[in-house]
Structure 1
Amino acid sequence: MNSATTNSTKPLRRFAVSATTTCAAQAEVYGKCILATYTDVKKDACKEEFAKFGACLRETLKKKW
């Protein structure tokens, strides 16, 4: 792997680590919703949970980067 590739993935890796610790609760709620509804998929079944998880990720991105 060249140094340009390594350097470009570091911010993404840092964001992933930060987001998984900061947004763990929202991710868990969203994951449980997906797990509970995957056999009976309906549009927007987990829309609210996904929106909360996405909002947390966006806030993490604003604060940390």
Structure 2
Amino acid sequence: MQTTKTSTTPLRQLALHSTTTCSSHATTYGKCILAAYTDIRKDSCKQEFEKFGQCLREAMKRKW
């Protein structure tokens, strides 16, 4: 007999953190992409992406 898992999966935690804990970083990254989408170049939003990624890593680290 299988029991239901009450804890959330890592993917659900990532989704939660990307929309709550790291929402300001996600918004900044999204705005950068939106501003540059017609003439996107490699690494044009690298700094914003790295900050967003670091926020997610830190948020996930705190939960584990």
Please indicate the TM-score interval, normalised by the length of the shorter structure.
0.7 to 0.9
How many residues are treated as equivalent by the alignment?
60
4+ residue segments displaced more than 6 Å: none
Aligned to 1:20: 19
**TM-score of the aligned structures, taking structure 1 as reference length:** 0.79
RMSD: 2.0
Q: Which residue of 1 aligns with 2:60?
A: 61
Percentage of identical aligned residues: 59
Q: Greater share of helix residues, 1 or 2? A: 1
Q: Per-residue CA shift, 1:7-58, capped at 9, x if unaligned?
A: 5xx3121331133200000000000000000000111000000000000000
TM-score (norm 2): 0.80
Q: Distance in 1 between matches of 2:36 and 2:46?
A: 12
Counterpart residue type for residue 14 of structure 2: F
